[in-house]
Amino acid sequence: MFSAIKTLYQGVDVCINNAGLARPEPLLYGKTEGWRNMIDVNILALSVCTREAYQSMKERDVDDGHIININSMSGHRVLASSISHFYSATKFAVTALTEGLRQELREAKSLIRVTCISPGLVETEFAFRLFNDAPEKAAATYESLKCLKAEDVANAVVYVLGAPPHVQIGDVQMRPTEQVS
């Protein structure tokens, strides 16, 4: 992917890590395959893309780039729902990785900024994939309140990217007004 970006666009100036998934795999009896899938997508892929984006910026002397991790409110709190605990752990890892990256960039004297955007309930295919055996449960998730839309998250990305170069926005936590947790 990054070699194609280099060929087509010379490299990456802004990286938005937006992949994420959850599997209904509780801590006490979840399947290792489901846990591994969440780790691979939510942690490892994000870390690989971050590394490659940084290397692309560094080799081209881009020092005003931006890395944005689309995280989740689940990276800041744990719901009382056993099927979401492992997912929350992967999202807590994204919170830690974002702050660790910010610190490493400061150590490197880089002005590349890093931001974590953590939305609550967004109306996407997320719940339908989580509850793939129960589409009615997924639909009910989105019908229970007025959810965020993908456009709301995109607007947060635009806001963060529009900040002056001397402003580091570390974390944006956003959720539907009606969402309790």
Query: Catalytic positions, please?
Result: 87
**Strand-pair category, 14-17 with 113-119:** unpaired
DSSP sequence for 27-62: TTT--HHHHHHHIIIIIIIHHHHHHHHHHHHHHTT-
CA-nearest of 13, 20, 1 to 69 is 20
DSSP alpha helices (H): ranges in the chain? 2-9, 32-38, 46-59, 85-107, 126-130, 135-143, 150-161
DSSP alpha helices (H): ranges in 108-134? 126-130
User: What tokens were used for 102?
Assistant: 């910010």
User: What tokens were used for 142?
Assistant: 């989105």
DSSP 82: G
